Amino acid sequence: MATIDSPARRTFLGSMVKGAGATALAGAGLTTASLQAAPADSARLRSDAFDLDTPYDRRGSNCSRWDSPVRRYGDKFRYGMGIASMDFQAPPCIAEALAERCEHESWGYLSSTAGLKEGIIAWNGERHGVDLNPAQIEISAGVYPGIIAALRTFVPAGTKVLMLSPIYSGFYYHCDHTRVDAVDSPLVFRGGRYEIDWQDLESKMTPDVNAMIVCNPQNPTGNVWTEEELLRIGRLCLDKRIVVLADEIHSDIVRPGHRYVPFASLPDQAVVNNSVSFNAISKTFNLAGMKNAYFYSPNPVLMNRVKQNHRADLNTLGVVANEAAYKEGGEWFDRVLPYLHANHEFTENYLREQLPMVGYTPAEGTFLAWLDFSSVLKAINAKEMAAMHGLESPEHYFQDWLVEHSGVLLNPGSNYGSGGAGHMRMNIASARVVVKEALDAMAGALRQV
């Protein structure tokens, strides 16, 4: 395996640090005390002791989570706790595989994705007990393109797709893009958990609803749906002739006491045959920029129909990176997962002890925290101020207010459909010192309200 500590690599990393100084380090981001980004040397990258406690500085690398807010807020911005990407350095196997491939300096068409499919099959079999058939898997450039192809296939323009909300904001973009109408069935908060309102869900299954997007684990509430819940959804959809589109991109990130149940593993073959599942390890290994995902179904009729509206357009280095992660990244992820769980516990305890005015729903999965700021929004007159400033919602006003007063950027809950009012989404996938600093900054601002 080729070493990744080359002169070209050191030059690139040096330019990143200089760029960070020009664009972000001066006023936006972590404090000097917490910012101890580890040096760029191959010995560290090959170390068996993955260091998650030392912040990995992504600023100045054209990073959506840390660099985009600077363009909007300038030096008021300090902590990017919104965009759903992890801040941890990726496992060494990925950089090593990319460096090895880059030694061959020609970039023609890929010959095969067989190795990638082998990785997908092995990962799902070993981690989730799903026995996938390579003939049933279609590689995609992302979960986005796959779901858009499915919407074009099953949901004619002007008809409807059903979703449990609050739900990932990107699905509403998919609906706009394919000219279909989104129908929300709001979740109900009972006993500390978001639950499905079964009566409402079934009432929304009208004849003009042709598909239902099931997000598991649910972004942003963190629900990990049980087998019983998924079966009930699946049987309702089957009865109503609604195709299930199961987005399972957060499937690897499940907290202790909960179990991810792949929709394709449900013990009712008729339900499974009425579904297409979409997945990737882009959340697992922070590989979103590598543009690689897949979808599958045991029903060849559904698969062939979707494939007619889908084109992969894969990137060679994306395939290399994902293959390496599937084959060699498991040990790294096995250390990240309990760290994320501990971050959730830390956040929950901090809010309970330091910020009791902020409601917190314990997530069952994902690295996202769903926070209720309803009382705070009321105290700062967010509804009136949003109208005065022509903003989309009170939550969008609070997003700006929070950056102004604390430097912390969260995602507005209203982006996630019905049920998002009064809430904000926080990404806790960072070194714990960064999570603490962000919470401390928010606490300092909210105590003045």
Q: What CATH number is associated with residue 252?
A: 3.40.640.10
Res 62 pLDDT > 60:
yes
157 and 279 in a common domain = yes
Boundaries of domain holding 56? 7-93+331-446
Do both 28 and 155 map to the same domain? no
Question: What does the pLDDT look like over 323-363, one tens digit per residue?
Answer: 999 999 999 999 999 999 999 999 999 999 999 999 998 99
Q: Is residue 395 part of a domain?
A: yes
Structure tokens at 245: 């589109």
**CATH code at 66?**
3.90.1150.10
Tell me the pairing of strands 408-409 and 79-80: parallel
Residue 365 has what DSSP assignment? B
Residues 125 and 106: their CA atoms lie apart, in Å, by 34
Q: Is residue 338 part of a domain?
A: yes
The whole-number pLDDT of residue 31 equals: 53
CA atoms within a 13 Å half-sphere pointing along the CA-CB vector of 393: 17
Q: Are residues 303 and 435 in the same domain?
A: no
- Check if the beta carbon of residue 345 is closer than 8 Å to that of residue 367: no
Q: 43-52 — which CB contacts under 8 Å span 24+ positions?
A: 45/4, 45/5, 45/89, 45/92, 45/95, 46/92, 50/91, 50/332, 50/335, 50/336, 51/89, 52/88, 52/335, 52/336, 52/339, 52/431
pLDDT, greater one: 1 or 200: 200
Assess if residue 433 is contained within a domain.
yes
Tokens of 323: 């293959």
pTM above 0.85, yes or no: yes
Q: Is the pLDDT of residue 19 over 50?
A: no
pLDDT tens across 167-188, in order?
Answer: 999 999 999 999 999 999 999 9
Q: How many domains, the chain?
A: 2
313 exposure class (CB count in 10 Å sphere: 0-12, 13-18, 19+): exposed
The reply to whether 170 and 315 lie within a common domain is: yes
Would you say 143 and 280 are in contact if contact means Cβ atoms under 8 Å apart?
A: yes
* Statement to judge: residues 203 and 185 lie in one domain: yes
pLDDT tens string 28-56: 456 534 554 443 343 344 445 689 999 99
Question: What does pLDDT average to over the chain?
Answer: 90
Domain end: 305, 328, 351, which one? 328
pLDDT at 101: 95
Average the pLDDT over 407-418 and give the result: 97
CB 374 within 8 A of CB 355: no
Sequence letter at residue 4: I
Q: Tell me, yes or no, whether 324 and 362 share the same domain.
A: no
77 & 215 share domain: no
Identify which has the larger pLDDT, 30 or 105: 105
Predicted pLDDT at 30: 60
Q: Residue 105 domain-assigned?
A: no
- Going through 36-156 in order, the beta strands assigned E by DSSP cover 79-80, 137-140
User: Considering the domain boundaries, does residue 32 fall inside one?
Assistant: yes
Whole-angstrom CA distances from 133 to 136, 139, 299, 374 are: 5, 13, 11, 47
pLDDT at res. 46: 44
Residue 49's pLDDT is 63
Per-residue CA distances from 173 to 50, 181, 213 (Å): 37, 11, 13
Q: What is the pLDDT of residues 157-172, one digit of tens each?
A: 999 999 999 999 999 9
Percent of the chain whose pLDDT exceeds 90: 85
**Are residues 252 and 384 both part of a single domain?**
no
| Strands (DSSP E) found in 355-410 | 359-361, 368-372, 408-409
Among candidate residues 309, 328, 347, the one where a domain is terminated: 328
The DSSP result for 230-280, as a single string, is HHHHHHHHHHTT-EEEEE-TTTT-B-TT-----GGG-S-HHHHTTEEEEE-
Query: Is 227 a domain residue?
Result: yes
Distance between CA atoms of residues 364 and 434, nearest Å: 22
Last residue of a domain, one of 328, 344, 366: 328
Q: At what angle do helices 143-154 and 300-307 cross, to 10 degrees?
A: 100
Q: Are 373 and 358 in contact (CB under 8 A)?
A: yes
- Please tell me the distance from the alpha carbon of residue 382 to that of residue 396, in angstroms, as a whole number: 9
Q: What is the mean pLDDT of residues 399-407?
A: 98
